[in-house]
Amino acid sequence: MIARSQEKIVAVIEVENIVDEKDVAELAAKLVASFPPSKTKPVDFLGAQFDAGLAWVHFPVGYGGLGASPKHQKIVNEVIAASSGPSSYMRNPIGYGMCAPTIAQWGTPDQIQRYLRPLFTGEEIWCQLFSEPGSGSDFAGLSAKGVLDGEEWIVNGQKVWTTLAHLSRFGLLVVRTDPQAVKHAGLTALIVDMQAPGVEVRPLRQMTGEAEFNEVYFTDTRIPFKDTLGGAGDGWRVSLTTLMNERVAIGGAIPKKATGPIREAIKIWQSLLKSERSSATQDELMKLWIKAEVLRLTNIRAGQNRRMGTPGPEGSIGKVASAELNKDTYEFCVDLLGANGMLYGSYEMVRPETAMSFDSVPKAFLRSRANSIEGGTTEVMKNILGERILGLPGDVRVDRDKPWHEVPRN
């Protein structure tokens, strides 16, 4: 049962034996009926959604979940979207899709209690601090350093391509705490207060004119030991949880049929004069539509087959396919626009409040170039699929068994 209090919104719900689609659908319907999105503040609605166990239905009870199958989340999302309800993912994409699953799996009870709810409501935005100037695809080769000083870590180093760091209250940071160990073993994951002394966020301007990405510098930044996620030296395993969820968050979306980039292509095609259309471009449009539908159906199947726990390497399939499809579709759109495709509103420097957003096809075309890099490059994704799904021989890795401090670096 979900009830409303006059003083504050409180969600009380029975969650025993919630296992099937019907139960989840009924709970979602009760949520939007008790907290109509048109009359409820987004923060309050999302808070009620969390308390009802409908934030991440596969999380344990009390963590914003029901202990149900992750495939049931689609039902919740569809009910809320149909009522024009707010989306936690849109408000806090890195936090919702990547940091929250990591905290739920590796966090202490105190950490889970402290961070998950305000993360979901968007009251506290999160970022992911993994990539460095000298270690992008080779994430385990990172060099940002953490040294234990009593009950605190002292962190020095630089991170790069950090989405929405300029808005973030907290970040999921991985640093090297044992340079004597092999590179995968000497890492530790930390929760960092982005407003702490010694944290500096600088914008990275993109070719769209915006700066949704940032570089972040740490200079003698002190992080309490209690904010370690997992244990010291568990950073690689912790980060795998984040990365696997990131690929599903980026490439695993299940849009409605003929929506997203392919919808833009269809709209532009339909706006053309008959004299501007050709059988060749119509054929190309149909090929893109088929690819979009295959990806949508593949993601539906993957969602239905997904089990509890961290997503597996199969999440790389959607990531690769969606990145290439987005680039191809928006390139086709710009070609259809002809000279109008070169028109661009403004390259004014802007610090956006959302990630991966755009208001025109030319901007979407430019932004889509990043799709094959962010969340793991297409080349790395293909390696993962080849080695872990198809069982092909792995790349030669000469530094795997060497202590990190012995590995040559530029």
Question: Which pLDDT score, from 0 to 100, does residue 304 have?
Answer: 67
Mean pLDDT score across all residues of the chain: 88
Q: What is the pLDDT of residue 252?
A: 53
Return the pLDDT at 14. Answer: 42
Query: Among residues 147, 143, 173, 230, which one has the least CA distance to residue 404?
Result: 143
Q: Which of 195, 277, 204, 228 shows the shortest CA–CA distance to 103?
A: 228
Q: Which of 109, 116, 71 is nearest to 92 (CA)?
A: 116
The two tokens of residue 12 are 């009380």
- Residue 82 pLDDT exceeds 80: yes
- Across residues 121-133, what is the average pLDDT? 95
**CB–CB of 365/334 below 8 Å?**
yes
Distance, CA of 100 to CA of 119 (rounded, Å): 8
Top mean pLDDT of 36-50, 66-80, 123-137 is at 36-50
Task: Report residue 49 as tokens.
Answer: 């959604």
What is the maximum span of the chain, computed from C-alpha positions, in angstroms? 75
Other beta carbons less than 10 A from residue 368's beta carbon:
22
Q: Average of pLDDT values for 124-132? A: 95
Residue 201 phi, psi dihedral angles, 5° rounding: -110, 125
- Residue ranges and CATH numbers for the domains of the chain are 21-121 (1.10.540.10), 126-238 (2.40.110.10), 239-389 (1.20.140.10)
DSSP track, 127-195? EEE--BTTBSS-GGG---EEEEETTEEEEEEEE-S-TTTTT-SEEEEEEES-TTSBTTTSEEEEEEETT
For residue 96, the model assigns a pLDDT of: 94
- For residue 207, report the phi and psi dihedrals to the nearest 5 degrees: -70, -10
- Per-residue confidence at 387, pLDDT binned at 50, 70, 90? confident
Provide the percentage of residues in the chain whose pLDDT is more than 70.
90
Query: How far is it, in rounded angstroms, from Cα 364 to Cα 130?
Result: 25
Max avg pLDDT among 5-14, 155-164, 400-409: 155-164
> pLDDT of 260-303, one tens digit each?
899 999 999 999 998 899 999 999 999 999 999 998 888 877 76
- In angstroms, the CA 37 to CA 65 distance is 20
Secondary structure of 229-272 in HEC code, one letter for each residue: ECCCCCHHHHHHHHHHHHHHHHHCCCCCCCCCHHHHHHHHHHHC
The pairing of beta strand 126-129 with beta strand 170-176: parallel
